[in-house]
Amino acid sequence: MIRFANVYKAYPNGALALKDVTFHVSKGEFVFLTGHSGAGKSTIMKVLFAEQKPSAGEVRVSGYNVNALKPTDVPRLRRRLGVVFQDFRLLEDRTAAENIAFALEVTGARTDTIAARVMRVLTQVGLSAKSRAYPREMSGGEQQRVAIARALVNDPAILLADEPTGNLDERATRGVFQLLRDINAGGTVVVMATHDLDLVRQTSYRIIEMRDGSVVYDSQMDEAQAEAK
């Protein structure tokens, strides 16, 4: 589903955000991206949803070659992805249901199917009772669930979550994380960038650790090497 091969990303000032990053993510995987701030987690995310292009190396996401992506293909790629951020990125002047419907409307979904699809994902994230609430009337955890519902409504193959629990208290964090695990159990690839090591240690999901733009640890490689021995 995701393939990074010897990827470099240089910023205009010459700083290298990614150095020779290589990893593959297969169908159905749940992957943690860990590391300190500035280690390159967010850059990987941005390259994954084609917000930035790699300077060198090859990136393939859900069948799209990000290096050679035409501007008209960027929206097509993004419709196959769901993206969730630390700051939720909801529209304040729209209700939960409207925020989710927005994602369908902008992709030209059939109007008569929208309401049902919105209710389905709201139910999936456990917020069917809050469909008419505005973001300011919801807790952080609830807002993040709405953001996740919005990411899910287009039935993405891959869900990218950049520090999704960064702004949440412990209880909300557990809830959101469980939701992501459920989504992964349904077959969606989940890539979650986080520096919450407690969360990472709770599970046996794959961990890719970044430092200064390089991959310094990949639990899958570790296992593969262990098996090789």
Partner 1 sequence: MKLLTREALLSFRRAPLLSALSVTTIAFSLFTVGLFGLVALNLRQALKGLEERVEIVGFVLRGTPSEAIAVATQDISAFPEVKDVSYVSEEEALQRARNELVEFRDAYRDLQMNPLPASIEVRLKDGFRDAAAVERVAQRLKGFGFIDDVRYGREWVQKLDSLRNITGLVGLVIGLTFAAVAVVIIGVTIRLTILQRAREISIMRLVGATNWFIRGPFLLEGALKGLLGGFLSLVLCYAGYLLFRDKSGGTFGGLLFFAPEHMVLIVIFGVLLGLAGSLVSVGRHLRHV
Residues at the interface with partner 1 (CB under 8 A): 49, 71-72, 75-79, 81, 83, 89, 91, 93, 102-103, 105-108, 111, 150, 154
Q: How far is the CB of 160 from partner 1 (least distance, A)?
A: 10
Q: Closer to partner 1 at the Cβ: 23 or 85?
A: 85
Q: Closer to partner 1 at the Cβ: 90 or 207?
A: 90
Q: Which two tokens stand for residue 144?
A: 């993040």
Q: How far is the CB of 46 from partner 1 (least distance, A)?
A: 11
Q: How far is the CB of 154 from partner 1 (least distance, A)?
A: 7
Q: Closer to partner 1 at the Cβ: 76 or 195?
A: 76
Q: How far is the CB of 149 from partner 1 (least distance, A)?
A: 12
Q: Closer to partner 1 at the Cβ: 72 or 204?
A: 72
